[in-house]
Structure 1
Amino acid sequence: MGLGSYWGEVLDVLEKIIPVYDKVNSLISLGRDSEFRQRGITNRVHPGDSVLDAGSGFGNMSKTASEICNGDLNITLYDPLRTMLKNTSRLFSVTPVLTCGVFEHIPFRDEKFDAVLTGYSLRDAINLRIAISEIYRVLKKGGRFVIVDLGKPDNAVLRAGVSFYLRMILPVLAIIGGGRLGLKFATLYGTYKLWPQNKKLESLLLERFSRVEFEKGMLGGAIMVAAYK
């Protein structure tokens, strides 16, 4: 379960859309991406925590966490694209630790972090089960894994509605927000097709984690999840 061989194509697209990435993401989430990040992080990241922002992009998740914790966090940004990491200065006055790599081979020792954050990125894992296992490994006992992402409703009617939005409405909004580059956001639907339904994702997390809190928005098309080690 995961992107498998599709990962290379998605990575190539992500690198190309860097100039319009944040603008289009806000537009296609109907302006609620920041709200969902705040809802996912609040009460799950605490002042003084050591935080890994995995699949960080520019660092929007850890920036949100830092604001909630009044800047009292030790942040590491981790992303497969060096070009994404080079753009972190747009969010941080003091650059966090930057590390390049993939979910499936996280280059940190066991039990290093209090929290791992993934904002709209876990869906891009090559192998989802291995990615979850690696995140579990680098979390301290009692650590929290926070996921904010697209949701795939368990209800067939709602699932069809989300699919319709991603296939038909999202491309139009992406073009409005990103012009020609917005066309490349069509790959988002490909990642969604390979993404497990909400209940399946919850069960995958429970294979490793002791407890999972699963919150949904936009009729299950958005999820805010916390898994506790």
Structure 2
Amino acid sequence: MMRADLHKQPEQVSAMFDEVAASYDRTNTVLSVGNAALWRAATTRAVAPQRGESVLDVAAGTGTSSASLARSGAYVTAADFSPGMIEVGRRRQAGVPNIVFVEADATALPFDDGSFDAVTISFGLRNVVEPKKAIAEFLRVLRPGGRLVICEFSTPPVGLVRFGYGFYQRYVMPPLVRLSSSNDSAYEYLNESINAWPDQAALSAWLREAGFTDVAHRNLTAGVVALHRGVKPV
């Protein structure tokens, strides 16, 4: 079984996601105790896609988030660097006419400058070997005034919640993974990548450094997850 590590070599990460693609959505639902659907709905509301807009969903995986965005009537480009994920996504979202799947690296997006009204990425930025380079790419492909929404695991600000979440990661998640996933070791990397990821203030600072304005974040599930937003200057 393929397992990535915190060096996040693209070939390893892509191959790891190829292996878990078929069971990915089911495992996410189990491990999030049903919260994955709530986080997806909150992200869609934050993006606020409008009919006719062009939206880029990076690290789209099987296209579950893309389908949520597409219900607005926006044209959604679902980008992912895992061929296995894209294959599953194309099959599962075949009935959604306004989604196009594209194999793409977040650090070198194959799109022209100013191509999209909105860019979003859910639970994918921490898997990118150079996340700051990806953020710069998001800024590049956005139109002036375009908006970025990042949904990612984060750091609960309350100590008791951090303790409880750490207990869940260490003692509760492993048996759930064994029940629901086709690759146990891939989810060992999941825990490692979450614990190594910067907190809300640090990610907000990265967005400002890249050139985004109106940067803000909102905690979901007591800060286990956070929504970060920014706007490309006009």
> 1:138 corresponds to which letter in structure 2?
V
State the identity as a percent.
Answer: 26
Residues 119 and 149 of structure 2 are in contact (CA less than 8 Å); yes or no, is this contact kept in structure 1?
yes
What's the CA shift string for 1:95-129, capped at 9, x where partnerless?
Answer: 73222121111111111101112121111111111
1:142 to 142, 145, 168: 145
Q: What is the alpha-carbon distance in structure 1 between the residues aligned to residue 205 and residue 116 of structure 2?
A: 23
Aligned mate of 1:181, from 170, 180, 183:
183
Map 1:33-72 → 2, pairs under 5 A = 33-42=36-45, 44-67=48-71, 69=72, 72=73
TM-score, normalising length from structure 2? 0.87
- Measured at CA, do residues 139 and 42 of structure 1 come closer, stay the same or move farther in structure 2, by a change above 3 Å? same
TM-fit CA distance, 1:85: 0.9
The one-letter amino acid of 2:52's match is G
Matched residue pairs, number? 224
TM-score, normalising length: structure 1? 0.88
User: Which amino acid in 2 is paired with 1:87?
Assistant: V
Aligned-CA RMSD value? 2.1
Output the CA distance in 2 between the equivalents of 1:145 and 1:81. Answer: 22
Question: How far is 1:84 from its partner?
Answer: 1.1
Equivalent residues of 1:50, 1:113 under 8 A apart? yes
Query: What is the aligned partner in structure 2 of residue 213 from structure 1?
Result: 216
Tell me, yes or no, if the aligned pair for 1:123 and 1:195 is still in contact at 8 Å: yes
Q: Partners in 1 of 2:122 and 2:67 — Cα distance?
A: 11
Aligned residues of 1:63 and 1:92 also touching (Cα < 8 A)? no
**CA pair 200-156 structure 1, distance change in 2 beyond 3 A:** farther
Distance (Å, rounded) in 2 between the aligned partners of 1:147 and 1:173: 26
**Partners of 1:76 and 1:97 within 8 A in 2:** yes
The gaps in structure 2 that reach 5 residues or longer are none
- Is it true that 1:194 corresponds to 2:196 in the alignment? yes
1:226 Cα deviation from its structure 2 partner? 2.1
Shift of 1:183: 4.6
